[in-house]
Structure 1
Amino acid sequence: MGGREGNAIGGSPVLVETDNALDYDYLAGDRQERAILRHMVLSLLVGMVLGAVGALLAYGPHLIHSIYEPYAYVLLVVVVGRSAAGFGWAALTSALATFGPLISLLAASLFESGARFLNLSSGSSVNLGSNGLTMNLTVVTIATFGVLAYFTRREDGWGDLACGVLAGVVAVDGLDKTLSGGPEYVPGYWPWNTLLVATLVAGLLFALRRGNGVARSGFVALVVLCAAFVFAVAF
């Protein structure tokens, strides 16, 4: 494969046609498609593994389990969304990464494993049907984290906003588990587990933003957290 030369007026050689560029584009496109496919499959498989680990941790101390779920899944979705090839792929792979744990925990429920998926269980076994609206909302929320993580690749204010909202919602979940009387309150969550959540939030800010973007994203996260706190106190 290669170029073919012809003679112009005056005998100077000119390049008429080449196929190397076409071959290169085809191979590059094929490699990209394979990389996207691997990304999708790994997102689902790693999610299923994390879900299986979460099912096992349900037998252990409740505090450890409350840290693992949902933050292990959140981190997976953030990594998946951040590394996606495009917006549509970020949405799709984030959904796959979210459904991976759900598949494992549904399978665990068949054996009365005691696993709990994002506070949707009842007693010692998974009971996902007890609150389908909450389950759907939680799945959509976690999948949205991947889309937000994809937008954090932007270097402008939209990237700062996406990172701040992402970190703020993660902080809100920690706040819900800390406040007594709340639907997600976990006894003994304060202070050490809450400090771990704060470390996770800070890690997201510094890992996804650079320079002044960290401060701007942190301000957005603080606004989200304060708004959630006011809403929780008022209602």
Structure 2
Amino acid sequence: MAIGAPLKLLILGGTAEARALAEAATGAGHDVWTSLAGVTDEPRRPAGRLLSGALGGIDGLTRLLQAEGFDRLIDATHPFAETMSGHAVEAARRAAVPRLVLRRPPWTAGIGDRWYGVADLAEALETLPRAAAPEDGRVFVATGRRGLNLLTRRPEYGFVVRTIEPVTVVPPAIDIRFVRDRGPFDLDAERRFFADHVVSAVIAKNAGGTGAMAKIDVARECRIAVLMIDRPPVPDGPLAADVAAAMDWIGLPAEPV
């Protein structure tokens, strides 16, 4: 990719792709800022300048884009960060800053997969009896800390929940184990995890990518059902599936916003 004049870029981060883009764009001579919303206490630091914490919604993001004179906005948030992506759409429009969505492709079911497509955690729990019986083992809830109170709808099941940060509010009156760990996890690590906790089913978000794929691979190996939460729609506008495509877009002349 040919690099023209250096640009000032704001990346809405939180993913491996965001960190890789920050490194590539910084190496190409661009002035790169990455904003992290503060979901984890000790995030992996990207190349360039880091902004931590909330930006103040649409208005705050708009002010930041205008005040700092950013040339491009790249939404490289998690595929399920629907609110932040919506804020990026409107803030970029108000500030007249070209916007790109960097979103890795979703996983697709392959041979041997036992997937149940669901809209959210609530529907996953409704569907759970079709996937595994309570006596088969524990249900691995790989959806993060939010919404865990919904697990009380299935008190007959045992659960194991793995998170980066501690869970401070524990759902009452259910059998639940909490494991604190940070990925990515390889196949051997996930095989041990599944065996140690006698995993009988997995509830996961369709995050895509390779960092969280091992649990899906192990579920396939063990013929374990996965209740796969579908992604929200991708916002309209330019879309890149990987860092190389995002770098190509950055190098193009800006189109009118």
Instruction: Give the TM-score taking structure 2 as reference length.
Output: 0.23
Structure having the larger proportion of residues in helix? 1
Computing the radius of gyration from Cα coordinates, the structure with the larger value is 1
Structure having the larger proportion of residues in strand? 2
